[in-house]
Structure 1
Amino acid sequence: MLNKVKQLSKADLFELLSNRFDTEEVKLSQIPNPALLLNATKAAKKIAHAIQNNKRITLVGDYDVDGVSSTAIMVDFFRQIPYPLEAIIPNRFRDGYGVSPTVLERVETDLIITVDNGISAIAAAEVCKERGIDLIITDHHTPSQNLPDAFTIVDPKLPEDSYPFQEICGAEVAWLLLGLVKKELQLNINMKQFLDILAIAIIADIMPLVNMNRTLVKEGLKLMMHSKRPASIIIHDFLNKSNITSEDIAFQIAPRINSAGRLEDASIALEFFTAKDTHTAYKQFELLNQLNELRKETEAQTTKEAMLSVHEDDKIIVVAGEGWHEGVVGIVAARLVDKFARPAIVLSIDKEIAKGSARSIGDVSIYELIKENEELLMKFGGHKMAAGLGLDVSNIAAFREAINKSAKKIPAEDFIPKEQISGILDSEDLDMELLGLLEQFEPYGEANTRPTFLMKDAEVVSIKLMGADKSHSRIEIRQYPHQRKTVELVAFRRVYEMPTDRKITCSYSVAKNEFNSKISLQLLINKIFE
């Protein structure tokens, strides 16, 4: 595979990146009308009517970044009307996911609106019907054949929906709907003010950064630099950069927002997003920082234990542990996929029930594999690359055996990780001009990945370990023997020892490094080919 990688000039790279976008960039004014979303106008009229008639309105969100962002946008919008809104984000451990019957037990209301959940809330819809509560579901997940019996459902994935761009997250659905509510009530609310939070949701929920998503993220990141929202001021100060990128959000901010729902309660993240002053926002952000550190420790310990339970011969890793934290099993599954280059399912055992997460690799649909063995499960859901599931502890061994039997039918090439290497750059081309070229095509993310380059059989000149715990490597290399110039590669979370042949072959990406107001080029190792 690596032998086929071609030499690349800056002009080649520009052409390669330009070809990713077959149409001109969508302007904010060209984002499709929210009224084109099926049932959105009906939902907006119902919400407007409830406000005009002083009805009690309750919002039910979700504990991930998209769910918290959706809830925050709704809370902020209602605050500006102003109109009282009861906002609930279910607790992962006490309530489970979405608008569940346990959440409904503590709600007294006339209208419930869900954001980023509800498409599978069939039992909850029945409870609402019995209690005379109108239920508006707004979601973006793929529906099954049976839909909840709600007042209406707004979801671009409904088969009959014809919204021009359907790969949108829960926060986008909520934002588009609020645009229609604004129109119904003839409110003077600027919908652009929510783009900073909307950008975080789009990036964190791994939506494709093309079409309207690309525009919203671009504009949202720009807004974050000068927004008066206390949460955005704190994010801007924390990142301390002249430009915030989608990767800053994906790797620095999203894990912190997520850690609240994973380890404790997502209300901590919601209070950060909706804080009315920077003092409150800072306090909540400090809590998120602490939870994120705890999440990292918990995840590292669980990963260590999980690795000891892996059956070397299995095509699909299935591991389970008593007391493993339910909030980190998804991340642990991703770590196992990275380490063993196979799909992984990590289960947390609590009494007689095991609940967990699955992550996949290459072209293997983990969802289809799980579905094939659903008779052994209590519940499951998800998509090709990630899924969640629950089963009786007594069925774990049988499930492991069955899913591995199913996996035997999958061709070996489907298990090959999809690392797209753009080409080989000459070390002379690793300069600020290259950085400028790459910046033209930001934001990078899903469907517009940051280009990855190959360094092949380069001479290792020296290796230095960095960080307080010496867990990162700074590798000085010379690309070709005749060159005097050396370049530095950085391998985060990897201690690299001098290879016996003093050679390295690796893939890397090029990033901007800002330190003490100085801007430099940083080469980040993605993968070392041993």
Structure 2
Amino acid sequence: MQKRWKTFPDATVEAGALARSLGVSDTLARLLWNREIRTEEAARRFLEPETRQELYEPLRMRDMERAVARIRRAVEGGEHVTIYGDYDVDGMTSTALLYGCLRSLGAAVDFYIPDRFTEGYGFHRAALERIASVSTLLISVDCGIASVDDVAAMAGKLDIIITDHHLPGEQLPPALAVVNPHRADCAYPDKNLCGVGVAYKLCEALYQSIKGCAYGEGLELVALGTVADIVPLVGENRKFVRLGLARMAETSCVGLRALMEIAGIDAGQVGAEQVGFQLAPRLNAAGRMERATLGARLLLTQDAAEAQELAQHLDALNRERQATEQDILRAAEDELARADVSELPAIVLAGEGWHQGVIGIVASRLVERYYKPVIILSVNGEMAKGSCRSIEGLHIYEALKACSQYLAGFGGHAQAAGLSLRTADIPAFRQAFLEVARERLSPEDYVPVARIEFEMDPLSVTTELVEEIARLEPYGEGNPRPLFGCRNLRGSGARRIGSEGQHLKFSVDGTGRSVDCLYWGQGELAETVNAEPLDIVYRPSINEWRGQRRVQAIVDSVNPAAGARVHPDRDMLADLYRYLYRLSAGKASFSLQPQRLAAGFAAAMGHRLSVFTLKEGLKVFTELGLLRATLREDAYELCTPKQKLDLMASPSYRQYRNR
């Protein structure tokens, strides 16, 4: 999928001054500047968070002092305390962290995590009633800020302390204490903490009050929850993650060690990517497929055998989650095959019994594939629940709000949301949502964006520069991995690699050196790379092989270079039709693999059309009914027009002309 480039404003001069004050390269200084880190002091805090980033005094958080006083009274009085968590990784790590802290302080403590499917997110009234029968104090982690009515209903039955990081509504719950940096009246400097970050600040304050010393345990759990919850990795979060990742190499958490082992991760080299893509999905599988309590138990157990058993179970649940996700994805693709997706302003699909724990992931996969807003609905009798994922141009929460007359409930933010509605209202809701998307999205919004730092030839990158750029790690929300652009690049030696030839490898050659480029999952582009100039987006890395270290480029996206990015005019389309007519002579169907088609066209017609131009031409013919796909992959039939064709009847051609 082609992407339009978005670049940062040129700040070469300003970044140069910052580079000199820091003693770093102009490249690293420009990357810092693009992240709005623009003073020497701020840059040193960012580059050296372990020693220079301040951890703020936890009592600066509103209601923290009140929460600590009540918890201290419970600990000293031997009261039974229950921690109420959430079913994602942030909730599990928050639960495990606070549980371990309270146990070390001598508290009688237990924990409760609600069931995603039967109880849902946040407080569940029946669960609170059961907890009140055994505990005098409940402490929430990563949830509770929206449970105004439930907290009010427990007045006089159970003391409740809420710790959360989600945005509060117009009214705060009437709890004994509400600890949340997003409170309008909270002056805490860092608003980006996730649930486990807020829980850590509570642990700090408790140790200061009860033991009179600093708290420094569980930082690996804080790093795990922070990375998994996709909060900005700046400020305190950046320090937590850097310290926590370093701790993972020697963690005393036997459950975390077992999970890293079963995921095939070297504990001495674990980074944010391994946490986000290997550890977090296995923990999240517990809440998606069974009970999140399994994840919390894994992080709390001190028994190596139990840890191994739980880690294996989570690994199996993750495989089950992947299989379920693929089943729903195939069903969704089958339904989309019966529609013209190019004409849809958004995608709204519903399926009876689709697993509620994975429909959000399926929605994300479809956004990646089609780059349109997607809503996936799981129908269960008279009611349906859905997950939404959006693209940059559409605020999904506001779009749902515009269709709220059809919804029983909804919530979320700009890019992701959830909803519920009556099954009978799905057709009307679908129509209303498609109209909202059609009104609010322009044609340009449907072209995905590649955010590049600036343009830089891969041949100019050295191993020393790659190592220096790595000082920006860990990457994540608020600190993305740097991507660079290079225009009009000529690749050579392009070939398919991988067990099924699914990946692409090619080289960029210069005077005296070359750089290998790898493009995962795009092996079919080999012939195009060898034949045509390209604009690429890439990230530099180092390949180590047999003691040698070389720069390589990991390609993020490829666009045809400006000279090849030509939409077909009437004459080009006429030539293409004549060639297809010759190609189809005497055949029931023929292959239209674009890269090979380009070579055949040039040989037969005496001039070249770029692969981009050919693909657009085939799209026009398909829209006009001149080409029809057969059941065989890449095979098409050429149809004879029954009347004079009007090219403007093709939406793609009409769009080119109007633009």
Q: TM-score, normalised by structure 2?
A: 0.74
Q: CA deviation at 1:406?
A: 2.2
Q: Do the aligned residues in 2 keep the contact of 1:136 with 1:150 (CA within 8 Å)? A: yes
User: Do the aligned partners of residues 55 and 207 (structure 1) sit closer, same or farther apart at CA in structure 2, a change above 3 Å counting?
Assistant: same
Amino acid at match of 1:142: L
CA spacing shift, 1:3–1:386, aligned 2, 3 Å: closer
Counterparts of 1:88-237 in structure 2 under 5 Å?
Answer: 88-107=112-131, 108=133, 109-129=135-155, 132-186=157-211, 191-234=215-258, 237=261
* 3-state secondary structure, aligned to 1:425: coil
For residues 92-127 of structure 1, give each alpha carbon's deviation from its aligned partner in whole angstroms, at most 9, with x where no partner exists: 112211221132243222111111011111332133
Distance in 1 (alpha carbons) for counterparts of 2:68 and 2:546: 49
* Deviation (angstroms), 1:518: 8.6
Counterpart CA distance in 2 for 1:511 and 1:72 is 36
Aligned to 1:271: 297
Distance 1:241 1:473 in 2: 28
CA positional deviation for 1:286:
1.8
Tell me how far 1:198 sits from its aligned partner.
Answer: 0.3
Moved more, 133-142 or 497-506: 497-506
Shift of 1:72: 0.8
Bigger mean CA offset, 256-265 vs 97-106: 97-106
**Aligned position for 2:498:** 466
Whose helix proportion is higher, 1 or 2? 2
Question: How much has 1:281 moved relative to structure 2?
Answer: 2.4
The 8 Å contact of residues 538 and 554 in structure 2, kept in 1 or not, is answered as yes
Determine the structure 2 residue equivalent to 1:318. 348
Query: Structure 1 304/151 Cα, relative in aligned 2: closer, same or farther at 3 Å?
Result: same
Q: Structure 1, residues 36-80: CA drift from partner, whole Å, max 9, x if none? A: 111111111111111222222111100111111100101111221
Q: CA 1:184/1:292 → structure 2, altered by over 3 Å: closer, same or farther?
A: same
Change (3 A) 1:484 1:40: closer
One-letter code aligned to 2:62:
L
The residue aligned with 1:334 is 364
Partner of 1:453: 484
Relative contact order (C-alpha < 8 Å, sep 6+): which is higher?
1
Alignment-derived partner of residue 475 in structure 2:
444
Listed one character per residue, the Cα deviations across residues 351-388 of structure 1 (whole Å, up to 9, x for unaligned) are 11111211111142111111222221111111111111
For residue 47 of structure 1, what is the aligned residue in structure 2? 71
- Taking a change above 3 Å as real, the CA distance of residues 78 and 463 of structure 1, as seen in their structure-2 partners, is same
Give the AA of the match of 1:151.
L
Q: Distance in 1 between matches of 2:245 and 2:538?
A: 25
Deviation at 1:454, TM superposition (A): 3.0
Identity among equivalent pairs (%): 31
Residues 246-289 of structure 1, C-alpha deviation per residue, up to 9 Å, x if partnerless?
A: 12211121111111111111112112211214333232222222
Q: Which runs of 5+ in 2 are unaligned?
A: 17-23, 561-659
Give the alignment partner of residue 401 of structure 2, picking from 371, 390, 411. Answer: 371
Amino acid at match of 1:526: D
Shift of the alpha carbon at 1:526?
Answer: 2.5
SS at match of 1:38: coil
Give the counterpart letter for 1:459 in structure 2.
Answer: G
Report the secondary structure of 2:328's partner residue: helix
Q: Distance in 2 between matches of 1:528 and 1:275?
A: 47
Q: Greater CA deviation, 231-240 or 391-400?
A: 231-240
Summarize the Cα distance change of 1:371–1:33 in structure 2 as closer, same or farther, 3 Å threshold: same
Residue 14 of structure 1 is matched in structure 2 by: 28
Correspondence 1:257 to 2:283: yes
Alignment match of 1:496 (pick from 513, 524, 542): 524
Letter matched to residue 60 of structure 2: L
Mapped partners of 2:359, 2:501: distance in 1 = 23
Select between 229-238 and 390-399 the one with higher mean Cα deviation: 229-238
Cα separation, 2, equivalents of 1:123 and 1:44: 24
TM normalised by structure 1 equals 0.90
Secondary structure of the residue aligned to 1:279 is helix
Q: Deviation at 1:11?
A: 4.2
Between the aligned partners of 1:62 and 1:155, the Cα distance in structure 2 is 16
Inter-partner Cα distance in structure 2 for 1:239 and 1:514: 18
Contact 1:81/1:187 (<8 A) preserved: no
- SS of 1:167's partner is coil
Cα distance in 2 for partners of 1:160, 1:283 equals 46
For the aligned residues, what is the CA RMSD? 2.8
**CA spacing shift, 1:17–1:44, aligned 2, 3 Å:** same
C-alpha distance in 1 between matches for 2:93 and 2:166 = 16
Report the 3-state secondary structure (helix = DSSP H, G, I; strand = E; otherwise coil) of the residue aligned with 1:153.
strand
Task: Provide the C-alpha distance between the structure 1 equivalents of 2:479 and 2:529, rounded to a whole number of angstroms.
Answer: 36
Tell me, yes or no, if structure 1 residue 66 matches structure 2 residue 97: no
Which amino acid counterpart does residue 190 of structure 2 have in structure 1?
Answer: F
How has the CA–CA distance of structure 1 residues 268 and 529 changed in structure 2, closer, same or farther, with 3 Å as cutoff?
A: farther
CA 1:278–1:28 in structure 2 vs 1: closer, same or farther (change >3 Å)?
farther
Instruction: Name structure 1 gaps, 5 residues minimum.
Output: none
Cα distance, 1:512 vs. partner? Answer: 5.5
Aligned to 1:36: 60
Deviates more, 1:416-425 or 1:31-40: 416-425
- How far the C-alpha of 1:392 sits from its partner, in A, is 0.9
Of residues 439, 444, 448, the one that matches 1:417 is: 448
